[in-house]
Structure 1
Amino acid sequence: LIVGCDPKADSTRLILHAKAQDTILSLAASAGSVEDLELEDVMKVGYQDIRCVESGGPEPGVGCAGRGVITSINFLEENGAYENIDYVSYDVLGDVVCGGFAMPIRENKAQEIYIVMSGEMMAMYAANNISKGILKYANSGGVRLGGLICNERQTDKELELAEALAKKLGTQLIYFVPRDNVVQHAELRRMTVLEYAPDSKQADHYRKLAAKVHNNGGKGIIPTPIS
């Protein structure tokens, strides 16, 4: 199950071959309230039987987007969305660490956090900020930092910078994902790389990344963010 926790609602579209999935918040607004929804209204099944949900957000400039995450996760729990699944992945907006977006961390909904970053300064700054959020809730809950995943932007000394940040945070660089235009080609066709080009080098990198995350289960740490 993948739960998109970004107001852009773009976490699941390639799995569903769609423009964007209808979000829990928009469906609730149409129906009257979230209590008027059924699980099948908000959950769609896509490539490789991956179950997909988008929490959504308010209109730009109105309300709190983090509330959508809170509302959605509560709805999914109450309606049995987490039964008979191997993994739940929360795709959370990384550069905003407001209370709502931090809910999977704060309320013990997630067990491990993997921070996707690059060697660019603001991406590393955001990764450090997220680590501060994990540290804040680490003692009251069981959530841990699983590691960093570097999504290459082809900046100077990117691998060295990513490894140095991981070391500072007391964690590991789980994987360095190289940049490849096959990602854009797949996106244009509304497909994941694994579906569009399963024999490509990039697809192999994603398989290796998945194996690394799988084998890292239970090995997360409490980070030591840079002050």
Structure 2
Amino acid sequence: MLRIAFYGKGGIGKSTLASNISVAFAKAGKKVLHIGCDPKSDSTRFFLNKKQKTVLDILDEKGNITREEIVLKGKFGISCIETGGPKAGVGCAGLGISTTMQELERLGVLSENWDIIIYDVLGDVVCGGFAIPMRKHYVDKICVVTSADFMSLYAANNILNGINNYKSKKNPLIGILVGNKINSQSEEEIIKLFAEYTNIEIGALIREDFSFKLSDFKKELILENENFSDSEKEILYLKNKIETIEYTKELSTLSEEELEEFRDNISRRMLK
């Protein structure tokens, strides 16, 4: 079983990438479970063409859940779960993940014969709830999604700190950097320099492409539409990279001072 989590700053394209990777594995004949870990509950919309009722919604309504209520079959045979969470400004957003994982353990869902489990996780690791997939070792490989924006890289560094904090000899938590929404060679170089500073392997460098925005509006995945062939190549490259990466070097997360040094280095390079 290959267990993957997608982390990154909000709005960086995690859900789109995670969903497309789920499809890539499903089209390769794998049995896929896709778990959306965001209070917006929108990660599985691509597969179901509707907003899925969440684990927390059902628990609030009934006080208990069954497997059939929370695991729905979508496109390409992908099984879907949405954790859910509180309304904006009310309660702890990480509660949805922790509660869902307890219920999935109780129902034995995670022990079924899945080939691939993908977690689409909100934000960076500043909340213990969002860190649960790595903290409780429900995942083996973590795709850290970032753009060349400094705050996106700042969030990526936080996630790498989480990987280092929660890794173990039994589960080293392999980190994979995914550069997304890249508009220029300069932005690509920024992400490559961040990878060099932090010693993380790059899984893919994905160019900004209107096809990703269009696929969101059309509720289609990149791999569903033959007009998105260029973007499809990037998705399949990332899928293959995720499969083949078995070991990465020790991650070197950056202190606040080192982040400022990195920022200054970028500034000097861009002004040349």
TM-score, shorter chain, exceeding 0.5: yes
Q: Which residue of 2 aligns with 1:30?
A: 61
81, 102, 107: which one aligns with 1:79: 107
CA displacement, residues 40-75 of structure 1 (integer Å, 9 cap, x when unaligned): 101111121111111011122211111110111121
Q: How far 1:221 moved relative to its partner?
A: 4.5
Q: Which residue of 1 aligns with 2:236?
A: 207
Q: How far 1:96 moved relative to its partner?
A: 4.7
Work out whether residues 39 and 87 of structure 2, in 8 Å CA contact, stay in contact via their aligned partners in 1. no
Indicate the structure with greater helix content. 2
Q: Percent identity?
A: 35
Larger relative CO (CA 8 A, sep 6+): 1 or 2?
2
Q: Which residue of 2 aligns with 1:178?
A: 207
**CA 1:219 to 1:54, structure 2 compared with 1: closer, same or farther past 3 Å?**
same
118, 138, 154: which one aligns with 2:167: 138
- Of the structure 1 ranges 86-95 and 113-122, higher mean CA displacement relative to structure 2 is found in 86-95
- Superposition pairs of residues 97-176 of structure 1, within 5 angstroms: 97-139=126-168, 142-154=171-183, 157-176=186-205
Work out whether residues 148 and 174 of structure 1, in 8 Å CA contact, stay in contact via their aligned partners in 2. yes
SS for the counterpart of 1:176 is: strand
Gaps of 5+ in 1: none
CA distance in 2, matches of 1:124, 1:40: 39
CA distance in 2, matches of 1:61, 1:141: 38
SS for the counterpart of 1:52 is: strand
Q: Which residue of 2 aligns with 1:46?
A: 74
**CA 1:160 to 1:199, structure 2 compared with 1: closer, same or farther past 3 Å?**
closer
SS for the counterpart of 1:65 is: coil
Q: Which runs of 4+ in 1 moved over 4 A?
A: none
**CA 1:55 to 1:222, structure 2 compared with 1: closer, same or farther past 3 Å?**
farther
**CA 1:59 to 1:165, structure 2 compared with 1: closer, same or farther past 3 Å?**
same
Number of paired residues? 222
Work out whether residues 83 and 96 of structure 2, in 8 Å CA contact, stay in contact via their aligned partners in 1. yes
SS for the counterpart of 2:94 is: helix
CA distance in 2, matches of 1:173, 1:222: 14
